[in-house]
Amino acid sequence: MRAPRTVRAQRGVALLVVLWGCTLAAITLGALASGAKVEGTQARGQYLQTKGIYAAEAGIEQAAYRLRAREARQRWAVDGRAYRLRIDDVDVAVSIVDEDGKLNLNTATPEQIGALLLAAGAGPAEATRWRDAIVRWGGGGERFADSLLAKGGFASLEELRRVPGLPGAIADRVEPGLTLWSTSGPNLAHAPAVVVAAMTGTGRELAEAYVADVRAMDPEHGGLPPVPGRAEGTVASLPSSGTVTVTSTATLGDGVVVRIDATLALQNAPGDPRAYRVLRWRESRALEEAMDVGGAGVSVAARR
């Protein structure tokens, strides 16, 4: 006997309700699974970044230790060459640049700043205009005949990007050649190519070749290569001033790169138990192809 039409209709509605409920359950489970996957990816990213920070900090500590080593063969050079470490399963590249190889932004002459801008790629008219803007900003609107700025004109290198009219791209190019913590110099044995080019008047190609020759020499036994060009007052000597910038770059899986740039003073006041004082500390995180410390390195085995 066939079921009444109303019963068949009720069964059809019930089937639709069940199917609809199953569909909602599948959608909910899919959303939960997707959310769990996203959270897992985020957690892994945070884990890698945290691991990278600790590895990069270990590179900073290793550099501080090497700079204070008693034996010359154990000390690391301060000319920007790269040293390679393996900390656990993380690749770390460390380079050290002495601050005496840079121009002090608060004591350099306007001519030196203009030469640095030219070496960084500015045209003559632009270099003059941007030099004058830096002088006005740092000097409170006053011009100085024999020095760029009054002492303490710039409180930080980041302040350079607040100079009116100075393009950010130019500030990025000249910043590696500027410091606030050098009392003499620039010492061309520790200088980046842009400073060598500015101080000697040579082209960027010759300046980069000189820097490459410095980094290729044996810091313990080798002699310095001849300084290019003929500039009065240029100095090139190996001893460190005790104030350095250490760049430690940790490369992890999934292309995660963590970089720390730390400016350290290795000489403390009497009675200060710290191995160094931090003058500047910057952290950045990016993908592998976006960051580079440059140059071939010296491999060093190290584990925490």
| Chain-centroid distance, C-alpha 60 | 12
Residue 230 maps to a domain: no
Helices (H), ranges, the chain: 5-67, 110-119, 124-138, 168-174, 193-200, 204-216
**Percent over 70 (pLDDT), the chain:** 73
The pLDDT, as a whole number, for residue 240 is 82
Residue 24 maps to a domain: yes
| Residue 237 CB coordination number (10 Å) | 12
User: Which residues, given as ranges, of the chain have pLDDT below 50?
Assistant: 1, 140-151, 289-304
* Per-residue pLDDT tens over the stretch 120-154: 999 999 999 999 999 888 764 344 444 444 445 88
Residues 265 and 297 in one domain: yes
Domain count, the chain: 2
Q: What are phi and psi of 4, to 5 degrees?
A: -60, 155
Backbone conformation region of residue 70, classed left if phi is above 0, alpha if psi is from -120 to 50, else beta? alpha
Domain of residue 271: give its range: 1-102+241-304
Residues 95 and 125 in one domain: no
**Residue given tokens 């820097």 in the structure block:** 211
Residues 14 and 32 in one domain: yes
The pLDDT, as a whole number, for residue 251 is 93
pTM for this model (two decimals): 0.76
Beta strand 79-87 with 297-301: parallel, antiparallel or unpaired?
A: parallel
Residue 228 maps to a domain: no
